[in-house]
Structure 1
């Protein structure tokens, strides 16, 4: 189905819905879709399919799909395993527009399940039917009402309407978000569980929601990324349409990635690469699950902050509560703006000294409506800040009329304004939400939302890649044919524009002395072997060799150590390299990530690279501007950026080299799976950089 409007209608606004495997037993999960559809006001036709029933829960039942007259918009398959595959094939043959499969037990259940999932993919290819799932707990719209789901959370009495769409790879967590949002008075426009994404995946569905007039924000709960190109397109289109895309993704830790793999049957991918993906395409990634329903209030239909604005004024009726919010904001990269003089002077007659610090603490004066309202009014009018947060203490729980109700008038203010509630105060939370004032239960979520509101960047342009030079293509071909030892890797990187240390390869120890004379002592001596990527571990490196005779002796010792370390390794001789020095060692890494594609990483290099893991990652390629941002994010490079009286490094040359290295993303180099330069030495400002070791891994 190629028409997005037809697909959207079949997914979210179907008029005729078949339930294949429907049950009349209300204790069974397979009875829920029919019950929930009617409970929440579905006005279309429900078509239960069950060969042993003529009627199910008051609806005429059919023995099979062929017995149903007319077109079918959406079929929810409530059968398991091979039966679900056969039902999908029947749907495809019958011309059903979209099918969803409830059952798991496919790629999430080992080799046998993966084979069944392959069968589902084959049916999709052969028939053209669109598929949600398997492992999909359903699809829901609130207007018009279509609760096509088996999720027990939809047993609620009423389904609140709203304008946020939720796309989730976890079915059960749709229920968790639904209940948390409902307690706040927040509703959704669309909710969909995509499961294993054999066909329809997060990106394509998010793209449909961009054009949905009833959806103003697109929320994503993700465990992996299967359709990065479609999601990138959706995020960029959503930005142009003024609809924020907000994502929460599992897999920040190794154990989290493993759990996500076991649940979805797909790898979670590197957390750093997903961050890079979100940064490039303008997706607001949140770190807290609660933030999925907290953050949109500060991003949807809200005034844009001034470019680069990050100063937030904070007033409070609880010093400790405000300190938690301020602490979280500082971690998020926001600054606290002090009160303006007109506010300081206005508060003095009330016995409030607001000029002693950056916080405006109203605690001692008590929460009085006129003081609260007057304070916020003056802070919002102050040009010295970019946003305002008010933190409310116990009065939010017991006396909302004192410090909460006065805030309602500031809904839709001319600059970002948010309220953080320290106690559990559900009444105040709902009151503020209903009035359109962004309100938060957690200081961390409040800070995260404000940081995204002020610091979130639009989608970044993808740098254009020039056609590779003939030299780079020739070096690539030589390495592909003969294998990439360090000499061929150096030739390749040099052709890309990476400055490489002067070096010479010799086939054996006999010619080393002469080679040292040509390169110029002191030198580094290295074994050459396509089978030994990490030469130091194999004892294949000798540093600071002063002359040819010493180098020849060192070569024989290196050969002995390497043969003992890796008896079967193929040895191609030695590399004599000019001994170079710099202010700091940098590691450059390139990888074709299975989820997001080519990435480039910059970090503190040398032997410290794996210990400190101090690095910055972006989607490749990057231009020099983005490379400078990466350098600024690596803590260990503070010394070369300019720190106290230490000599500044050639940061411009480093940025240029990072950009050149990232051109490995070009399709002409598609056979390069990974590459690494470690170390790249950064010299003094104006003296450039030089790479002294490189590695290329072909896919």
Structure 2
């Protein structure tokens, strides 16, 4: 079956539509699509199919798909699950190009349903039919007036036409989202529900919307993903096209993941990996339905994203201004101060104002509305602010202030350095809609305004040509490599490792210690013992030949007692590294998304605080730095409490190299654990002190 998004054109923009199971009884699943297509003036041919009817809603009805003479771009199947395959088989091979399967009773119901869905997929594959569903609510292409859905939501009026494409795995959430869009005045270009995703997925819809000139913003609700590469490709295409993707992904907790799996047969996956995916490819993840709509709506109203991660706050209340500043700090938005000239102008006009950021113009702005406009324009003139947020409270609804608020919105929109403007005010719906037509997003909650600006801020995206390394030669076989082999593999991959030697006797250990001339760490070398300390297989601060020989014997004696069946390949000796910051990095190979790289602080921090970040391999140094900056480890690495700054550049280079290796070796690699990875003071580099590489067969 064709899988490229171009093949979806006949599905989402069909010239002819057959409705199988068509009905004259309004309210039935087979009646609603025809009713909507007629109501909104679909320009193509509507072909009802029902062997029991001669006419449906004033249109000539056909007994089966095969009784229709011409080819059909889209067939909408409104039948019980047991009749779906039979209905498609009655069509001539090649007659149907695509189908929307509204029926439930497939993979979401259990083994029998999965078998029925597999049969359906085979039939569609043999005939080259693209499938949306089953167990879905269908789709609406508003600009083409295609309403291939049985949702009653559009029957009482459509959402306004706009530039937002919306796609949801869940039909119920999709219908709710459509109704919310209609209530809020959010203009839609396209809406779809993908259901069980036997063929067409959320990722397919995103990729199609990227190519759709009528769509500028994409909103997606996801429960899981079966094809990680397809989703990465779709998000990458959206990022390159400059089309923001706002996504809500459920299943962030174990209970949420179980609920998702039982709902539409989705694979919920590991939420940390999804979070990394969205960060890496520039998608905006919304953690609540309110934020989902606020972000999508705001991007639609603004028509742009903040060019930098900073905000200027103007308030008629000092307390609310402080609340907004706290929210900005939580959202990692800078609050640049007003330059001296702008401060002077404001204080000359309003002596009691606070000319910091937040700017408190006090209640004087109600008596002298021009102060608001002058302050906002003055802040825009500085170019320091990625967006502006203005708190007006109930004053925004007064008739005296209303014309000035409109002028403020117009002035901000027309400014040569126009930035997103968020107005926080209690306004009736008609006034809110008027301001949003003028390009200013209106919020009743000032905290929500700042959260939305923070979510829309610029992000580091995956580079169009992610760096890739040549494959590293790996040992034959499967399972864990010993530490020496693991370190050799990483060294060949470009990850710096500590210089180490292997001793096979106490005498050899003594000789190596004497040659080293420094304090050593000595560790048992065995692929069968991943946790060396638990078996007494580690000795630290070993100095001199005598101590090394004794340590060698002690290690073997202890390991022999704790792990009598373990294979022993010797004892590893390496210089003690004491003046660095311990980190951890590793690779997990996910069944959907492939290799995923992890970074965090080592030691107790990773176990107790779980302060780690993730990225999908491969990635560049810029993404590696953003990984480091996401963790609380950054404060320690930058030199907290008088400690020297760690070599963050060296960490980023090592993460980048690890990601390239993981991607190149993805067919053989099961996991990598580098712990500790020590970052030395700035300029002195970083290195792995221990590593475990596990291979697949």
TM above 0.5, one fold? Answer: yes
1:394: how far off? 1.2
SS in 1 for 2:475: helix
Mapped partners of 2:113, 2:405: distance in 1: 54
Distance change in 2, residues 1:446/1:225 (3 Å): farther
Q: Tell me which of 423, 442, 460 is aligned to 1:439.
A: 442
Mapped partners of 1:201, 1:595: distance in 2: 14
Distance change in 2, residues 1:321/1:213 (3 Å): same
Decide whether the 8 Å contact of 1:92 with 1:129 is kept in 2.
Answer: no
Q: Tell me which of 616, 624, 628 is aligned to 2:625.
A: 628
1:644: how far off? 4.3
Mapped partners of 2:604, 2:291: distance in 1: 38
Aligned to 1:312: 311
Decide whether the 8 Å contact of 2:594 with 2:666 is kept in 1.
Answer: no
Superimposed CA distance per residue, residues 255-278 of structure 1 (whole angstroms, 9 cap, x where no aligned partner): 333333332323333333333323
Aligned to 2:643: 646
Mapped partners of 2:179, 2:23: distance in 1: 26
Mapped partners of 1:3, 1:196: distance in 2: 16
Aligned to 1:122: 122
Decide whether the 8 Å contact of 2:467 with 2:619 is kept in 1.
Answer: no
Mapped partners of 1:84, 1:493: distance in 2: 54
Mapped partners of 2:59, 2:380: distance in 1: 58
Distance change in 2, residues 1:607/1:25 (3 Å): same
Decide whether the 8 Å contact of 2:304 with 2:420 is kept in 1.
Answer: no
SS in 1 for 2:638: helix
1:216: how far off? 1.9
Aligned to 2:509: 515
Mapped partners of 2:203, 2:306: distance in 1: 30
1:166: how far off? 1.2
Which is further off, 111-120 or 421-430?
Answer: 421-430
Aligned to 2:424: 421
Aligned to 2:458: 455
Aligned to 2:658: 661
1:452: how far off? 4.5
Distance change in 2, residues 1:666/1:396 (3 Å): same
* Pairing 1:231-630 to 2, within 5 Å after superposition: 231-296=231-296, 299=299, 309-339=308-338, 344=343, 351=350, 353-365=352-364, 367-368=366-367, 369-397=369-397, 399=399, 401=402, 404-410=405-411, 411-413=413-415, 414-423=417-426, 425-457=428-460, 459-468=462-471, 472-473=472-473, 476-478=474-476, 480=477, 484-505=481-502, 511-519=505-513, 523-537=520-534, 540-544=537-541, 546-563=547-564, 570-578=566-574, 580-582=576-578, 583-630=580-627
* Pairing 1:133-172 to 2, within 5 Å after superposition: 133-172=133-172
Decide whether the 8 Å contact of 1:243 with 1:300 is kept in 2.
Answer: no
Aligned length: 684
Runs of 5+ consecutive residues of structure 1 not aligned to the other structure: 564-568
Aligned to 2:690: 693
SS in 1 for 2:364: coil
Mapped partners of 1:482, 1:618: distance in 2: 24
Distance change in 2, residues 1:52/1:296 (3 Å): same
SS in 1 for 2:255: helix
1:132: how far off? 0.9
Distance change in 2, residues 1:653/1:350 (3 Å): closer
Mapped partners of 2:54, 2:528: distance in 1: 69
Superimposed CA distance per residue, residues 560-619 of structure 1 (whole angstroms, 9 cap, x where no aligned partner): 1224xxxxx643344333252332211111122233332211111134322211122222
TM-score where L is the length of structure 1: 0.88
SS in 2 for 1:335: coil
Mapped partners of 1:529, 1:85: distance in 2: 57
SS in 1 for 2:643: coil
Distance change in 2, residues 1:696/1:147 (3 Å): same
Superimposed CA distance per residue, residues 286-323 of structure 1 (whole angstroms, 9 cap, x where no aligned partner): 3343344433455459687896x333222223444444
Distance change in 2, residues 1:652/1:7 (3 Å): closer
1:504: how far off? 4.8
TM-score where L is the length of structure 2: 0.88
Mapped partners of 1:587, 1:425: distance in 2: 53
User: What's the Cα RMSD here?
Assistant: 3.3
Distance change in 2, residues 1:461/1:246 (3 Å): same
Runs of 5+ consecutive residues of structure 2 not aligned to the other structure: none
Mapped partners of 1:306, 1:436: distance in 2: 14
1:122: how far off? 1.8
